[in-house]
Amino acid sequence: MKAVLLAGGPLGKLTLEAGDTATSKGLVRVGGQPLAWRTLQGFRQSRLISHTVLVGGDPGWEGVDCAVPAHETLMGSFEAGVNACNESHDPVLVCCGDLPFLPGHALDDFIARCRLRPEASLWYGYLRRENSEYKYPGLTHTWARLADGTYCGSGVMMLRPEVMHRMRSAMDRLTHARKNMFKLAGCLGWGNLLNYALGRLTVARAEKAGQGIFDVRCAGVETPYAELGFNVDDAESLSEARRILQEVGDPHALSGSHG
């Protein structure tokens, strides 16, 4: 299948290594190599990804089939990457470019799990807290406590490109509503907000809420691979990624140049 790698994003407060001149998050070096380049190695290892669209980043990286510029907004880059796949119905994988330890078999496992839910048009990956803390103890996340367990989102999802317009419209509505409880409840539903607050919201109910928001069939897909949830979102997670590479070793050290 075709896949999109989002390699842009603002630098924020991320600290650069000596000699690094990165202008976006995807180009920030971790152990001498850009974050998005490290994520790309997982794409190259995958058995199920046949075509990679890079949004932002370096179009000269090996393993990139098509490159498009990053947009000012995440959703703009997301849509540009999906459109560049030139697909309508067949699902496309979309992955954040800040997953420094992404293995190809984890991507293949996620794709296989999504394919078990063919009725959906939008698949969203999530990770159980126990799996994350077993692999990366102390790594901070934004956790959601549901009746089924405590989870965080992953850096990977899948969708049928035909629903891209509806997804972007829904995200715009949520963005405008997020600071207004009444508007947010109108999007999510009061019952879902109450169930979540009381710890009674289940994954199945969250899927139905997603369908109400995006007007498409949604599927939550649990991944057992903590690497899919190790996003470099802040200075702390960036420091942890660098520490792990120093202590455990760099699996891509023999890859040479990232060009």
State residue 197's pLDDT score.
Answer: 54
Q: Among 4-13, 148-157, 168-177, 241-250, which is the least confidently predicted range?
A: 168-177
Question: Model confidence over 124-180: pLDDT tens digits?
Answer: 999 999 999 999 998 888 888 888 899 988 999 999 999 998 887 777 755 554 445
pLDDT at 6 over 70: yes
State residue 254's pLDDT score.
Answer: 55
Question: Model confidence over 88-137: pLDDT tens digits?
Answer: 889 999 999 999 999 999 999 999 999 999 999 999 999 999 999 999 99
Region 167-195 average pLDDT: 54
Q: Coil, strand or helix: which one is 1?
A: coil
State residue 168's pLDDT score.
Answer: 79
Pinpoint the alpha helices (H) of the chain: 35-45, 74-84, 104-115, 129-135, 164-177, 181-188, 190-197, 203-214, 235-248
Residue bearing tokens 């078990």: 116
Q: Coil, strand or helix: which one is 165?
A: helix
Q: How confident is the model at residue 182 (pLDDT cuts 50, 70, 90)?
A: very low
b/e burial code for range 147-164 (CB count within 10 A of at least 16 → b): eeeebbbbbbbbbbbebb
Question: Model confidence over 16-73: pLDDT tens digits?
Answer: 888 888 889 999 999 999 999 999 999 999 999 999 999 998 889 999 999 999 998 8
| Model confidence pTM above 0.95 | no
State residue 39's pLDDT score.
Answer: 97
Mind listing the domains of the chain with CATH numbers?
2-136+152-162+217-253 (3.90.550.10)
State residue 187's pLDDT score.
Answer: 44
Region 208-219 average pLDDT: 86
Contact (CB, 8 A) for 56 and 34: no
